[in-house]
Amino acid sequence: MKEKIYEESGISKEVVKLSDDVLSGLKERFDKIDEIAEINQLKVINAMRKNKLAAEHFEASTGYGYDDAGRETLEKVYADIFHAEDALVRPTLTCGTHALTIALSANVRPGDEILSPVGKPYDTLEGVIGIRPQKGSLAEYGVTYSQVDLLPDGGFDFEGIKNAINEKTKLVTIQRSKGYEPRKTLSVERIGELVSFIKSVKPEVICMVDNCYGEFVEIIEPTDLGADLCVGSLIKNPGGGLAPIGGYIVGRSDLIENCAYRLTAPGLGKEVGATLGLNRSFFQGLFLAPVVTAGALKGAIFAANLYERFGFECVPNATEERFDIIQAVKLGSPEGMNAFCKGIQEAAPVDSYVTPEPWPMPGYHSDVIMAAGAFIQGSSIELSADGPLYPPYAVYFQGGLTWYHAKFGIMMSFQEMVNAGLIKLK
């Protein structure tokens, strides 16, 4: 029956058999992922229990949003999950880049310097900081930027970081995930090591972590190991596929207060901001997030094990431990990227009939191809794949609200590579 329905879906018997063979060796790793998901599920439930989540917290607020008990409870729940002093979780944080922009601009002033000790940040932040000239960038407000690249082996250049920290250094931004760089994702343990070192050099510096794609992959988060701020998007891991918009910032209470004033207005801060009936989706998505993240992780591991069999370099590789949900596959050509993304799109429940085409997406400095047939536009916890069209022609796969959908998407991408003559099965 399974073979028949896959065949009806466009997957050949050979690809089904190959996939089953790959999966037969992954049970132990999948069991470990399920164990982490169980721990994180209980962490989320216990935070909701502690804060006495009730049906009344799902009610909508409008206008100013004064006394929105659901919004206040949601932020307490986030703070407890991340073991942080406070949180800002709002639909008016429109995406991860916006949440990071708020966290940065709220906590630096003209004459301050931002340091990235892990190489260049994600493409969309280049314009925010001013690495790439952009109207409204922090550079226009007199905020400078310094960068220390990772060592060739992926390690931290501690000596370089120490030398880069100076009297102007106000905030250090640490990107957990790889972005469009085929480097290793940083584990929470490594982030903690980096934060500890930075604090030993300059204790008052603010350490902010871009946590996108990493939430609930491990049983601890960067705020557990000393990060002052942790930032992410609700249409990635913590929204569980149900949050239709939004972002979060968690951390020290004084820094969160600054963020709230920047998001709304000085003197208003967290007191305003209607939730317009979105609280239920935020809570329910958060409730599902650990299990949804686990399914996405299984899909990433399956992808690496399948593609490595045919000589494609994967980051992380087929055996490495995972610290985010992203799987990079170096396909080596634009044709490979097109075929891969075509398969992901064909496997989607939404817009499966369209063919992805590279285009100059806002905020990026090259054409990008993106496959995303999602219920929520741009939701990268749902099945999606994207990448910039330049060497090494790597595609970045992530998501899948269920493990079975992630599996189907990878199989379909592989099938399209076979159909295009880019993979030879025999």
Mean pLDDT, to the nearest integer, of 51-77? 97
Q: Which domains does the chain have, with CATH numbers?
A: 2-41+287-419 (3.90.1150.60), 61-276 (3.40.640.10)
Give pLDDT, residue 180.
74
Q: Which stretches of 333-383 are assigned E, i.e. beta strand?
A: 368-372
Structure-token pair, residue 368: 């990008």
- Can you tell me whether residue 409 is helix, strand or coil? helix
User: What span, in angstroms and rounded, lies between the C-alpha atoms of 203 and 195?
Assistant: 10
How many Å apart are CA 375 and CA 371, to the nearest integer? 13
Specify the pLDDT at position 397.
Answer: 93
The count of other CB atoms within 10 Å of the CB of residue 127 is 22
pLDDT in tens, 379-414: 999 999 999 888 899 999 999 999 999 999 999 999
Q: What is the pLDDT of residues 265-287, one digit of tens each?
A: 999 999 999 999 999 999 999 99
What is the per-residue pLDDT across 100-154, written as a single tens digit (0 to 9) for each?
999 999 999 999 999 999 999 988 899 999 999 999 999 999 999 999 999 999 9
Q: What is the mean pLDDT of residues 289-308?
A: 98
Instruction: Give CA angle at 223 (217, 228), nearest 5°.
Output: 140
- Beta bridge mates, 247: 90, 233
pLDDT band at 364 (very low <50, low <70, confident <90, very high): low
For 274-305, letters b (16+ CB in 10 Å) and e give: bbeebbbbbbbbbbbbbbbbbbbbbbbbbbbb
The pTM of this model reads 0.95
Residue 232's pLDDT is: 98
Find the radius of gyration of the CA atoms of the chain: 21
Q: What is the pLDDT of residue 1?
A: 81
Residues paired with 230 in a beta bridge: 209, 250
Q: What strand order describes the sheet that includes 169-175?
A: 86-90, 247-251, 229-233, 206-210, 169-175, 113-116, 144-147
For 166-206, what is each residue's pLDDT tens digit? 999 999 999 999 877 768 899 999 999 999 999 999 999 99
What is the reported pLDDT for 131? 93
**Distance separating alpha carbons of residues 366 and 388, to the nearest angstrom:** 6
